[in-house]
Amino acid sequence: MSIELDLNKRSESKCELCSASENLAHFEISPNSDGSADQSIYICDTCRDQINNPKKVDANHWRCLNDSMWSQVPAVQVMAWRMLNRLRSEGWTQDLLDMLYLDEETLAWAQSETEEASDDDAVKHLDANGALLEAGDTVTLIKDLNVKGGGFTAKRGTAVRGISLVQDNAEQIEGRVSGQQIVILTKFVKKS
């Protein structure tokens, strides 16, 4: 029996991630996949496209992981874990990650992709003009910002020195304004 047939039977002719029933194909889970059914999943074109192209990810499509993460198939668990981690900035995924239990071997397999991820996959913080921001940079506010809980407005033109980057969210940085540490959206700053 071919791998394709094994996967089709195991998945009951449905995408093992989103349950779609059309355009299904074999997908090997890296790294070091030997191409066997145990190290592969059967998924639709939509899931495959979004896994291979992180910029095309539609977070709402991946709400399907709420069901598929409970699969008994380790390869499906690995891909569910990886996608939930990729979508951490969405907020709703954290609860699912907290519930998802992987044995040590499966977790090591799931984490192996993150260790291999290139710098291209790293979170990049860009200012309003598209300039790359780095920890310690000085930025200038390009808009008056009401500081929630701070009781003041950070005025346009204010320089924020020695910023720090929010590691899991490319749209946020932290800096001191009027003596208070605040979170600032990158779209409201330009690099000085």
Instruction: Note the pLDDT tens digit of each residue in 35-61.
Output: 788 899 999 999 999 998 888 889 899
Domain that holds residue 8: 3-120
Domain boundary among 120, 148, 174: 120
Cα-Cα-Cα-Cα torsion 105, 108, 110, 114, nearest 10 degrees, comes to -170
Tell me the per-residue pLDDT of 20-36, one tens digit each, with 9 for 90 and over. 999 999 999 887 778 78
Q: Which of 159, 166, 164 is nearest to 138 (CA)?
A: 159
Instruction: Please give the helix or strand (H or E) that residue 159 lies within, else none.
Output: strand 159-160
Residue 20 lies in a domain: yes
Residue 24 lies in a domain: yes
Place of tokens 């979004």: 50
| CA of residue 25 relative to chain centroid, distance | 23
Strands 152-154 and 159-160: unpaired
